[in-house]
Amino acid sequence: MPELSKGANGIYGEAAFEVLAKAQELERKGKSILHFEIGEPDMETPENISKAGIKAIKDKKTHYTPSIGILELRKAVQDEIEKTRGYRPNLEQVVITPGLKPGIFFSMLVTVNPGDEVIYQDPGYPTYGSVSSFLGAKGVLAPLLEKNEFRMNPDDIKARITPKTKLIIVNSPQNPTGSVMTKSELEELAELAEENDIFVVSDEIYSKMTYETDHFTPTSRDEAKERTILLDGFSKYYAMTGWRLGYIVAPVKVAERLQDFLVSAVSCTAAFTQWAGLEALTGDQSFIPEMMKRFKEKRDKIVKGLNSIPGFSCLSPKGAFYAFPQICTKLTILLLRY
């Protein structure tokens, strides 16, 4: 067989999906499994959203859509960003994607060249490292330390910036530590990106999933909007992981290129999924506080339980749905999705 491409040798998989496949195989054999692996809510998609998706199929919304997404959903994203981030992006900046993950992939493809350096959190979401490796870029890890409540420290970013740094990826609320960066930390990060002419990808998939704190975004600085690619989606707080729907708000030039990557890779996001997403953004929102109340109870229970085990210590996460305990006896860290 001829040699595979460098990219094919660079890209790598994700343990959570591998363990999920194994767990489902055991379930098929009749074993009872408690799922602590894949990062998804243990609740079903709200009825109004599912019904909107089913209605779209019945209404024959089963054809191609513009690769950038249906106008109705893109307009709803404009409203959503205005409501939640305090500024109104232009329509040309809004791109709909089949899940947030392709948003990460294509944003990195648009901004990063082989040999560039990409700074991201350690520990962090595996896709950032895998895509960096696929692109022949160097992943530069910014450590998340328990003493800083697992928040990325702007000084650590500063120390890692070199002339080759092209992109900083920030994820807050964070997978897997549940940390939530403060407004001033994100402003400092945005300033560093401006001073050094670096792109920022802000993965805000858990934006509506915080406890005892608000969610902040590096796009709150006007200057940051020119270099920041904001990613958010429907998978987590609307319990829509299997629908595959996300969105990007990017500088116009970046959005245009993203559109071309989308058209070449997937043509468009599934039409009925987009109509379901419109209902998610514009319909009844009571599902989210209900879900967060439930997650908070589970968080408190699991953190208390972990802290009662000799040798374990676990901070109470401020966002998302992960607990990240330190296990002192073996100096290992275990990730749990509650």
Nearer to ligand PLP, 44 or 223 (CB): 44
Q: Applying CB under 6 A, which part among 50-58, 79-87, 95-103, 327-335 lies near ligand PLP?
A: 95-103
What are the structure tokens assigned to 163, written together? 């002339």
In whole angstroms, how far apart are CA 23 and each of 20, 177, 338? 5, 23, 16
Tell me, rounded to whole angstroms, the distance of Cα 184 from its chain centroid: 21
Question: Residue 101, interface with ligand PLP (CB under 6 A)?
Answer: yes
Question: Residue 65, interface with ligand PLP (CB under 6 A)?
Answer: no
Nearer to ligand PLP, 18 or 223 (CB): 18
Q: Label residues 263-300 b or e (16+ Cβ within 10 Å = b).
A: eeeeebbbbbbbbbbbbbbebeeebbeebbeebeeebe
Per DSSP, the three-state class of 165 is strand
Question: Residue 205, interface with ligand PLP (CB under 6 A)?
Answer: yes
Query: Cα separation of 97 and 244, whole Å?
Result: 8
Write each residue from 229 to 248 as x if it is in contact with ligand PLP (CB under 6 A), else as -, in one continuous string: ----x-x-----x----x--
Which DSSP letter does residue 80 get?
H
- Least distance from ligand PLP to the Cβ atom of residue 176, Å: 8
What are the structure tokens assigned to 214, written together? 């608000």
Instruction: Please work out the total of residues on this chain that contact ligand PLP, with binding judged by CB under 6 A.
Output: 13
Question: Residue 166, interface with ligand PLP (CB under 6 A)?
Answer: no
Write each residue from 108 to 137 as x if it is in contact with ligand PLP (CB under 6 A), else as -, in one continuous string: -----------------x------------
Q: Which residue is nearest to ligand PLP (CB)?
A: 99
Length, in residues, of the chain: 338
Residues lying near ligand PLP in the complex (CB under 6 A):
39, 99-101, 125, 171, 175, 203, 205, 233, 235, 241, 246
